Structure 1
Amino acid sequence: MAGNSRRPGAVRRTGSKKGPQVGTGGHGRKALRGKGPTPKAEDRPYHPAGKRKAAAQKRSQARPKNRGPRSAGGYEVVAGRNAVVEALRAGLPVRALYLASAADADGRTREVLQLAAEAGAPVHQATRADLDALTGGSAHQGVAIEVPAYRYADPEDLLTSATTEGRTPLILALDGVTDPRNLGATLRSAGAFGADGVVVPARRAAGVTVAAWKVSAGAAARVPVARATNLVRTLEAYKKAGCFVVGLDGDGATAIGDLELATEPLVLVLGSEGKGLSRLVRQTCDLVAAIPIASAVESLNAGTAIGIALYEVARRRSA
């Protein structure tokens, strides 16, 4: 009915809480403010990628961390199938075996699993990224183990072991070699030609690290490495014990193939590629031998040079 004030549309409401407004007065400024770029999928907690990232971080925190080479009371990582097999064959106590889930199940991998089971070592499935982090980015071939920190021998032990077993001592000494890969190559050659061990300085020299283990192809488990506080004094002690000390350098007066001292108790000393033998070490040597090479080549890799020298010594000893 016309004029009926009870109709809902006919009632004027008064007393609005907001009251009349002119302009926005800044009220819409907050609404116009953006929330920033969209986070990456792995940074969103409820996204599948975020859940995978959180799980990986949890595994990393739960896993015993590699404390680095020679950490007191710590553990080290040996990576690569050959190196791991040799370490297991040598009976080294293994704290854990890490195997990539996508690793090829070849003969070496099966042998690794068998030896680890016989040793009672726990086996952990790991991603390639986990192994990359564990080994410091070295080539691991999908397998790595944690073993106790490497125990260096005493330089005197190398000589005692050879004389006790009735062998003519053959010891290698590295003077200023800082690349662990060269140490690994030296250990591999030492194992191939029956050397009694390798002496390295305690400071400013390569030690038995993951890289050395890898390049040695497991020889680090068989060939002892001794650390010398003072290499010159160690060489002098070897001389007093009846050994001849022969340095290897490109300007040596004697070719390594003509070395008549090869059949005697011998210590071969190799310097770094850049500087060669240090002055004091060179003065301590009974003589310096050279490996003849083409004039177009300036020098040989340290690992290659020691392999050639050991071959020539072994050839003369077997003649």
Structure 2
Amino acid sequence: MNRAFAILAAGLLALSAVYVPVTSSLAQQADVDPNWTVPRTPWGHPDLTGIFSSDDMRGVPLQRPEELGDQRFLTDEEFAEREAETNEEVARLDEGGTAFLSERGIRSFRQTSLIVDPPNGRMPPLTPEGEAIRAVTPARGEAPPPDSWLDLRLYDRCITRGVVGSVLPVIYGNGLQIFQTPDAVVIRYEMVHETRVIHLDGRPHVDEGIRSFMGDPVGYWEGDTLVVETTNFRGETGIGLNGGGLPTTPAIRLTERFTRVAEHRIDYEVVVNDPGLYTAPLTIALPLTNQPGYQVLPYECHEGNHALANILSAARAEEAAAAEEE
């Protein structure tokens, strides 16, 4: 069960709390306290522990609208419009509007896209191999009836959304929880129950023959920033919302950076380098923030498990009906 369903089932249609709005250094806003000091763990590492989400970035598209070109941030007028929309949603939920399948953000940011590099905020051009992958990958909603469960996306099968897809904001389930030990950082993602153990003890990546959907992460501290290098992917997961988009290749390498810039915010950046799919790397950046009362609850994904049987049986029924008409 995810957080949105739990809220609905419990009848908690709104959350009300006193909070101090904060803004992201990613968005070049000046009201971040320059004197704020990064908290430390008992062993001296920057403290990243807590529950965060990407809810505040739900209104920001992954790719920048083409008409905005290299405009990375909203103008004052455009930002005022976005703030008004955010405030209107918060007010609606505070007055008893439903939160079903619609997590709430409470802050607004100036980014015009989650992709910040290339400068136009768009996916880089595809390689010839990437073009071949696109040619055989139908867009979501345009795929023919599946012959088996293997024709369905990994997300639809409740297997994984991949590393990047587990962070990007969607309509619900955007939470993650961070734990720390002297030798590791553990990240538990809310949706599709992924947990990553990021070792900090200097070990190398596992043998290249050992591969997984979430890859093999190793981390180190670069000043107050946690840097995570992840390799050994199977590929197959996309880097879009919920792991959508073109499936990546086993050549993909991710470089993530986690920097705590306020008590209730971590600035997150990931450089995606997949030379098998894209002609250049791309960078996604967004703030991960605390939300009042947010909890990361178990996500068993039984809805998807039942959906598989329904999707496949419906496809067979459609084929039988079509055969009878011939």
TM-score (norm 2): 0.22
- Which one has a larger percent helix, Structure 1 or Structure 2? 1
Q: TM-score, normalization: structure 1?
A: 0.23
Structure number with the bigger relative contact order (C-alpha 8 A, sep ≥ 6) is 2
Rg (Cα) greater in structure:
1
